[in-house]
């Protein structure tokens, strides 16, 4: 029985998979829930496993030259294409992938059913060709592709579900799938002595028969019957995968056994040679010459046996290791000590740069090893150092390197080394390194030494390749496990992040004219009434708070944006603003529920300033006020107090209520994200946001509460020093000639008017190309002092505008405006041609600060 026809029993791991799948199917059968998230995970698992099996079987077929295995790989590969399409169209894509999401209604119903028929038909076709000893792959692949297309078009016209009919089936279109798997399983069982993969196929067919049988009674994509079918499909793929892996391990075991038998035969040969040598020594004198020759032959044979034994020992040693560094070190040191040689090293090859890098050095030549591998490994050119022949796959031998003018050989020659041999590390015709050995004497390597190095390099290359495969598989398993563990926890944040990603840019663009005109009116319109000015201040603060809220929404799915330095703030003024902003909430309670909330303020005089983000602290206080109102459903007293603390250099602001209070457990966990005592009315994010604001401002949060005695939240801030407060003051820039580029005409006019009121000479451009043309034209007469451009524009975006301006005038500062926030970018240092990034809606003080900063740099 050959290796291709020798059957293998069911792996234990596959039996465990089948038991787990049966248990899971039993649990699902006892429930009637809708498993939408589980459906997505199982769909992705089915697609990934079919793809892995396709690649594994193709590689197996290429190594064993088995057309049958390649036929199976083609069927699984086309099934993977249909399954992956089925998964991808279920994702809400955006941007250029939007058409894929829009095609969901067409592609998703017509991809699962074709794959249910395609795979059993392809496997059956492979079994039929195997039974008739057919060969070739092209015709089979073309027929399978045509079948996939025909099934895809056919199921475009077939309704996936129907009312219960014959035997209660709701998916009659899939009636043929379990029958096909039943036929394939029986046929594979009959052919179990023709190929070693037929028995695993028979077992997997049985599982797939049961899974597709359950699918006949599915009434929705995510119901229990559908999930049982998906579990069965994954279980069948895992059984097939584990069976193939078991075959590979059995092949390795057989190989080791053969090598052991060879070693025993060699030992027996040694005994026979020794016995024959003893007989020849006692023979007649006229046979002395022949005896001498025979002794030399015997010595050579013994040397070869010793080399084979050494090769076996090194192979066993590197086979027990799972990291490249230790494999390289074992191989290098074993060659140095047991071949032996005076120097050995292993180098990795970069085909793109055509360089070799020293990766491991032996311990014999310590000083030379340190010079080559520490502190940074030596990198040397392949062609300049005469290693071209080695990286092309041949063994290189230099009998005397003292006359070679090359950096690597020169270092070896300085250490007294004269002869050198190098063998390639090669896997599947691809060279990825070289094994180099050297000796002190010239012409010191025999052909047997070079052959031994070549054989050892093959074993090292195989071990390295296995480590890479193991690491890749382990990483895939770890990623899958981590994804499964975190997907439920991140679902709510991901949904909020997707929403914020879609609307942040449009909201920021829409808010920009409001912010600019409001700020300009507050600065330039001196005849405003106190009430009108107060209302404009409220509008300005509300616009800033909306912009910061959009920015914080992005924090749920990307890293927090860099913040501008804090501004000096008066906590008393913030407390008054919060009372005004929340007045509709606590004032309406008396009208809606008859519960009266009395608001009291106790604000200390001459409070020190604090440095911070005004909108963040205001929103944190607003959240505390709302929580206090929610804690007083029957009404009560809400108090806002400010005062310096007993410890110098700190100030506090308290938000206190006379509500229901909190017990010790709620007080301990109140800052945790998603922890709430409000039931479905609460998100559990308000106090977590307050805690985050406090942490970013170096403040402390103190909570005093007891059941029935109300709650007091205290934010304790470090007071700003005079130098810090003075340093936060903004400097107004002198008049400049500015080029403004933006495709939003409202924002362009608002920013032009605001900066024009500051005395700047403004040239607007309504798209990227117009901005570039205006800048080039201005260079001939009156060049621009600075350029402010939007990031997202059609045809030519802000990055391209900046690149064109910098290529014409590298000294001209370019300020980038973006409605997506700075978090989308990697910092000014990582953005070519951009001197500063400002978020939308732009604030006049931020724009002025940026212009003033560039004026100071130009003056220096």
| Residue 436 DSSP symbol | E
DSSP H helical segments within 555-658, as ranges?
A: 571-592, 614-630
- Give strand pairing partners of 422: 396, 436
pLDDT tens figures, 70-91: 888 888 898 888 888 877 877 7
Using DSSP's 3-state secondary structure scheme, residue 66 falls into coil
- Those residues whose C-beta lies under 8 Å from the C-beta of residue 250, and which sit 6 or more positions away, are 8
d(CA 417, CA 562) in angstroms, rounded, equals 57
Q: What is the pLDDT of residue 183?
A: 92
Q: Write the DSSP assignment of 748-760 as a string of letters.
A: HHHHHHHHHHTT-
Q: What is the pLDDT of residue 711?
A: 92
Q: What is the pLDDT of residue 311?
A: 66
d(CA 552, CA 818) in angstroms, rounded, equals 16
Helix axes 67-88, 109-131, angle to 10 degrees: 180
**CB-based contact 816:837 (threshold 8 Å):** yes
d(CA 798, CA 722) in angstroms, rounded, equals 39
Using DSSP's 3-state secondary structure scheme, residue 81 falls into helix
- Whether cis (ω within 30° of 0) applies to the bond prior to 375 is yes
Q: How far is CA 454 from CA 307, 448, 451, in A?
A: 12, 10, 5
Using DSSP's 3-state secondary structure scheme, residue 411 falls into helix
Q: What is the pLDDT of residue 488?
A: 54
Q: What is the pLDDT of residue 695?
A: 84
pLDDT tens figures, 642-690: 999 888 889 999 999 998 888 888 878 887 777 677 765 666 677 878 8
Closest CA to 415 of 378, 443, 440, 384: 440
**CB-based contact 220:28 (threshold 8 Å):** no
Cβ neighbours around 590 below 10 Å, total: 13
**Cβ-defined contacts of 315-319 (< 8 Å, 24+):** 315/459, 315/463, 318/459, 318/460, 318/463, 319/463
Closest CA to 136 of 181, 7, 144, 147: 144
Q: What is the pLDDT of residue 277?
A: 82
For the chain, which ranges sit under pLDDT 50? 1, 3-5, 486, 489, 556-565, 724-730, 822-829
- Those residues whose C-beta lies under 8 Å from the C-beta of residue 434, and which sit 6 or more positions away, are 346, 347, 349, 356, 387, 390, 391, 422, 423, 424, 425
């Amino acid at each position: 029985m050959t290796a291709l026809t020798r059957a293998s029993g069911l792996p234990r791991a596959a039996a465990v998979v089948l038991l787990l799948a049966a248990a899971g199917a039993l649990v699902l059968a006892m429930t009637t829930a809708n498993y939408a998230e589980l459906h997505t995970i199982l769909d992705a698992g089915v697609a990934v496993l079919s793809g892995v099996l396709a690649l594994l079987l193709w590689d197996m077929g290429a190594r064993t030259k088995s057309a049958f295995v390649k036929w199976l790989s083609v069927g699984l590969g086309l099934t993977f294409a249909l399954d992956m399409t089925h998964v991808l169209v279920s994702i809400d894509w955006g941007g250029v992938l939007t058409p894929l999401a829009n095609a969901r209604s067409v592609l998703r119903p017509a991809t699962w059913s074709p794959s249910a028929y395609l795979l059993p038909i392809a496997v059956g076709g492979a079994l039929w060709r195997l039974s008739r000893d057919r060969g070739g792959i092209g015709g089979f692949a073309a027929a399978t592709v045509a079948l996939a297309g025909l099934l895809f078009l056919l199921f475009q016209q077939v309704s996936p579900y129907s009312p219960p009919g014959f035997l209660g089936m709701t998916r009659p279109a899939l009636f043929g799938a379990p029958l096909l798997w039943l036929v394939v399983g029986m046929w594979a069982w009959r052919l179990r002595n023709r190929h070693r993969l037929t028995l695993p196929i028979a077992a997997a067919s049985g599982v797939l028969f049961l899974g597709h049988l359950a699918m006949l009674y599915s009434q929705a994509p995510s119901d229990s019957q559908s999930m049982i079918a998906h579990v069965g499909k994954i279980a069948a793929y895992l059984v097939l995968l584990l069976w193939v892996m078991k075959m590979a391990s059995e092949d390795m075991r057989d190989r080791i056994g053969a090598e052991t038998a060879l070693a025993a035969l060699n030992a027996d040969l040694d005994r026979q040679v020794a016995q024959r040598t003893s007989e020849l020594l006692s023979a007649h004198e006229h046979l002395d010459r022949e005896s001498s020759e025979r002794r030399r032959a015997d010595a050579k044979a013994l040397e070869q046996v010793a080399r084979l034994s050494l090769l076996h020992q090194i192979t066993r040693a590197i086979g027990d290791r799972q990291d490249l560094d230790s494999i390289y070190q074992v191989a290098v040191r074993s060659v140095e000590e047991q071949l032996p040689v005076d120097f050995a090293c292993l180098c990795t090859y970069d085909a793109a740069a055509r360089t070799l890098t020293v990766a491991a050095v032996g311990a014999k030549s310590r000083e030379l090893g340190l010079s080559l591998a520490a502190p940074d490994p030596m990198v040397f050119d392949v062609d300049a150092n005469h290693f071209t022949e080695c990286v092309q796959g041949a063994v290189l031998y230099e009998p005397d390197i003292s006359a070679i003018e090359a950096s690597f050989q020169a270092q070896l020659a300085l250490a007294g080394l004269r002869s050198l041999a190098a063998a390639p590390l090669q896997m599947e015709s691809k060279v990825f390194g070289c094994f180099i050995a050297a000796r002190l004497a010239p012409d010191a390597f025999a052909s047997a030494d070079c052959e031994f190095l070549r054989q050892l390099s093959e074993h090292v290359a195989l071990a390295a390749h296995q480590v890479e495969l193991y690491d890749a598989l382990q990483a895939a398993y770890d990623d899958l496990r981590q994804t499964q563990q975190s997907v439920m926890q991140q679902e709510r944040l991901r949904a909020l992040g997707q929403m914020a990603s879609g609307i942040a840019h449009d909201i920021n663009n829409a808010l920009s004219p409001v912010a600019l005109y409001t700020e300009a009116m507050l600065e330039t319109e001196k005849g405003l009434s106190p009430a009108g000015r107060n209302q404009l201040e409220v509008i300005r603060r509300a616009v800033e708070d909306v912009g910061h809220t959009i920015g914080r929404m992005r924090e749920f799915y990307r890293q927090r944006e860099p913040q501008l330095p804090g501004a000096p703030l008066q906590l008393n003024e913030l407390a008054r603003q919060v009372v005004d902003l929340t007045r509709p909430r606590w004032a309406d309670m008396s009208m809606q529920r008859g519960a009266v909330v009395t608001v009291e303020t106790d604000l200390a005089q001459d409070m020190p300033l604090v440095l911070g983000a005004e909108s963040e602290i205001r929103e944190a206080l607003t959240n505390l006020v709302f929580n206090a109102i929610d804690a007083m459903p029957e009404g009560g007293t809400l108090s806002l107090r400010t005062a310096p603390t007993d410890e110098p250099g700190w100030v506090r602001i308290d938000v206190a209520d006379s509500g229901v209070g909190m017990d010790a457990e709620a007080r301990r966990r109140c800052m945790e994200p998603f922890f709430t005592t409000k039931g479905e009315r609460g998100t559990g994010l308000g106090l977590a946001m307050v805690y985050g604001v406090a942490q970013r401002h170096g403040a402390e949060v103190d909570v005093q509460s007891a059941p029935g005695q109300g709650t007091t939240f205290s934010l304790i801030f470090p007071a700003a020093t005079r130098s810090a407060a003075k340093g936060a003051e903004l400097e107004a820039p002198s008049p400049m000639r500015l080029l403004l580029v933006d495709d939003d005409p409202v924002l362009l006019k608002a920013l032009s008017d605001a900066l024009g009121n500051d005395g700047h000479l403004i040239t607007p451009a309504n798209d990227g190309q117009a901005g570039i043309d205006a800048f080039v034209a201005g260079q001939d007469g009156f060049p621009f002092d600075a350029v402010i451009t939007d990031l997202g524009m059609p045809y030519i975006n802000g990055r391209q505008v900046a690149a064109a301006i910098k290529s014409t005038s590298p000294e001209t500062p370019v300020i980038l405006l973006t409605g997506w926030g700075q978090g989308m970018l990697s910092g000014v240092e990582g953005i070519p041609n951009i001197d500063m990034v400002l978020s939308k809606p732009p604030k006049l003080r931020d724009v002025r600060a940026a212009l003033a900063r560039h004026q100071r740099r130009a003056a220096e």
